[in-house]
Amino acid sequence: MAAYSIRLYGDPVLKQRAAAIDNIDGNIKALADAMLDSMYEVHGLGLAAPQVGVQKRLFVYDLYDDTGPKTIINPTISEAQGEWTFDEGCLSIPGLYFPITRAKEVLLTGYDLDGNEIAIEADEILARAFQHELDHLDGTLLLEHLDADQRKAALRELRQRSAV
């Protein structure tokens, strides 16, 4: 399957809650492969299905280390602790970064492409990526984590970019 185009801020699909996946079949596996291709094209760390216009509870990620790419289906965060503020970007809002406070450590559960239940303890960057991708699955955008003044400035920047 060919890579998808990444949906950009303003696309209504990004504001919708994604549906749970009931059956992990060849279509889901092909979707995950195509999402990885899309993510690699733009050098991303993670990509959620709604970012390619598919309303399914699935995301892919790659830390670019020896663990390789991963797909998480129907993810949930069951534990979160600590706080960590760090500049965060989004493939659906390219080129903009914002200081976002998120949990420093999380326990993520879900399923892999073989239908096996998985649990991953993550901290710092990986914990941030998991929370970011889960936001996409819930229809929450990065800008919603900003205070009113930051959001106004970000929207102004986005309007200026689209006018160019």
The CATH number that applies at residue 36 is 3.90.45.10
* 76-to-94, 96, 102, 135 alpha-carbon distances in Å: 26, 27, 15, 11
What is the number of domains present in the chain?
A: 1
Indicate whether 39 belongs to any domain: yes
Q: What is the pTM of this model?
A: 0.93
Indicate whether 153 belongs to any domain: yes
What is the rounded radius of gyration, in angstroms, for the C-alpha atoms of the chain? 15
Indicate whether 6 belongs to any domain: no
The residue from 41, 133, 144, 157 that is catalytic is 133
Indicate whether 53 belongs to any domain: yes
Residue 133 bears catalytic tag: yes
Indicate whether 1 belongs to any domain: no
| SS3 sequence of 8-56 | CCCCHHHHCCCECCCCCCHHHHHHHHHHHHHHHHCCCCEEEHHHHCCCE
Indicate whether 3 belongs to any domain: no
Indicate whether 7 belongs to any domain: no
pLDDT in tens, 30-68: 999 999 999 999 999 999 999 999 999 999 999 998 889
Mean pLDDT of the chain: 94
Q: How many whole angstroms separate alpha carbon 42 and alpha carbon 45?
A: 9
**Domain residues for 109?**
12-163
Indicate whether 80 belongs to any domain: yes
Four-residue CA torsion sign, 125, 64, 72, 138: positive
pLDDT in tens, 128-154: 999 999 999 999 999 999 999 999 998
